[in-house]
A and B are shown apart, each in its own frame.
Chain A
Amino acid sequence: MDTHLLKDFVQQIHPLTEDELTAFCNGWQPFTVKRKTILTAAGETERYLYFVNEGVQRAFYLGDDNKEATIVFTYPPSFSGVADSFLTQTPSLYFLETITASNLLRISYEQVQELQQRYPGIQQLIFKATAFALKGALLRHIELQCFSNEEKFKTLLKRSPHILNLIPHKYLASYLGMDATNFSKLMNTVSI
């Protein structure tokens, strides 16, 4: 099992001791899935924390008109899974699916709980990761409410320029809350 990406990723968020790092990495299981696989359905409670070694995933909410609102993308190296459902152990409001074939690691809620209780460093790691996720979510809330389409587009490209080649544009458009035609107009007019 390949945990070196995971190790590097974790050490950047919150450095763990040698013991803590070994204990943390041992709990994960490799998990490989095809593209367009639903990992968690709305109504289901997230059982796993994922780590992305390869591939792109997205979470989407099914709107009134069956339009899918993309909430978040995950790609290597990062955690994945329906974070709020995982942390609260309550049913997810949205779906998590793979966009491309994905090479993941996963660990169960119970295992994470156990590790957190045993190792203060791991407790701290999960807390920090959650805090950063919250920060990201609130920042995005501001962008969605206050930014024009062009500003949203520019901000996204500044933050994650590689995303343009990684993720189909219809999903990026949905992530920014605009329709696909407006997105492609911006692609053609905005100089990056």
Chain B
Amino acid sequence: MNKINSFDELKSIQNRSNTLLELRKINEEKELASEGNRCTRYLSVCGGTGCMSAQSDEILLNLRKEIVAAGLTDEVTAAITGCFGFCEKGPIVKVSPDNVFYVNVKPTDATEIVKEHLLKGNVVDRLLFEEPSVKVKIKKQEDMPFYKKQVRIALRNCGLINPENIKEYIAEDGYLALGTVITEMSQDDIIKLMIDSGLRGRGGGGFPTGKKWAFAKMYDADQKYIICNADEGDPGAFMDRSILEGDPHSVLEAMAIAGYSIGASIGCIYIRAEYPLAVSRLRTAIGQARECGLLGKNILGTDFSFDIEIKYGAGAFVCGEETALIQSIEGSRGEPTNKPPFPAQSGLWNKPTCVNNVETLANIPAIINKGAAWFSSIGTATSKGTKVFALAGKINNVGLVEVPMGTTLREIIYDIGGGIKNGREFKSVQTGGPSGGCITAEFLDTPIDYESLGAIGSMMGSGGMIVMDEDNCMVDIAKFYLEFIVEESCGKCSPCRIGNKRLLEMLEKISNGNGTKEDLDKLISLAETIKDTALCGLGQTSSNPVLSTMKYFKSEYEAHVYDKTCPAGVCKHLLRYNITDKCIGCTKCARQCPVKCISGKVKTLHVIDQDKCIKCGACQVACPVNAIIKK
């Protein structure tokens, strides 16, 4: 694409490209093609990491081959798009304008989609989503319960545009916000608009974005920096990565807007090296934006210049903390520094720096285009707009969901998420990642916002939401998070480095069946001490998983300590394998046992010597009649 020299030119390009997405935006059922009556179609194939891992790239190749073979190249286009969010049912292929949403598509299904659907007009029934509760096939995306309660702002373009084509982003009002800002608004105007909108940081902290910008603007310097924090380290969260993969331009545009607001000319995206697809989409997007003159010197013919570079992380959770992130960009160990000075005063290379999270940034162009009043009309009194959650764990509909603030956990887990997998009982939902806490069933009707989640011992966090059922042991979950924290602690301050290690040792002791009452008391007091004394945000919240599980699942800890049992049947050392009367005496288990602790004659009941048993479970797997039970 050629360089765009003015805002007017951008607007006229936007006007002309309106038709580009026309097919995909028609929301009514079109008459399907019958033979001899072919109509134009657009096939969107999910190109997010989840679907790509399940061969969606091959699906696209096969579709294109079949389209050529069927002689439909003039009428049908097939291309990738960003994450649809319904990862559980991926890979997803959407056919427009018929508005048919195919799920669990395999590369071999391409033939049938083209031959049956495109050529004959027969929807391929077996690839439609079936609503499990009513066993009805659903054709349209918007009719699925998964999508009904969602409002997409940060994810507005994911599943719609091709992220590798800047024209499609522009057709969806892309870069219009930047144009408006740099030609019509003063720095203070934009900062006021951001404050009025009520947007708060989506990385977890929830600091008002407008205020953050105002601080960074306040300090004078020859150079200032905008940093996009794309170091998504919460294990089990993939919101930021999906935005970068599905709509990279919205982040670039917002960074330029932020740059204009605080007076920065350089932007820097700090991204995990483990995100190759997001990196490649970003590179493509930056290249296209430079070519169009939307990044670089004198953007849209104005005096404003802004460019963006990518910096790679190298796998360190603590680098999501802004001062540690800055250390890492400077090429050092990512250890946090004391605040103040805050980055707004002295950040990257000791210059005023504003660090914003990916999802925060993705909201900004929409806020400027639609106004602060529109944005602040969504959400609760203190938390405006929407929040993207990566819903995962023991839930039917794993995926990426975006809901208005104030939606309840129950709505997310049961209406959108489709309830607990395999009909099991809900036990807990964990939000906020390793810094967050576990929430129990009694709080499921809590409307989600920054304050309400904090009040029940968890936190908003960056958006990881992991659902657990009765088969998950909460001591084991606390241990899991502590293992993570111990591995990721940077080691700079002793409460985090040593304290968490001691916490983990106590948890291991408890799950091994050697815990005492004293350990339970010590767990709490040490966890509280770490919370009060650690240096950075990671350290101060690192003991939350212990505190929240101790608060809500104390009886489970007590069962481990006093009764030496694990109620969920997870902690291996507390399990017992027993052979029931069902035993047919086939001797298979005795032959499989690695420590030879099973005795019994052929065709008689076998017995396990509990003192020797190492609880490996080999006997249970070997038993042909399910006579061995684990308790």
* A pairs with B: no
* Chain B interface (Cβ < 8 Å from any Cβ of A): none
* Chain A interface (Cβ < 8 Å from any Cβ of B): none
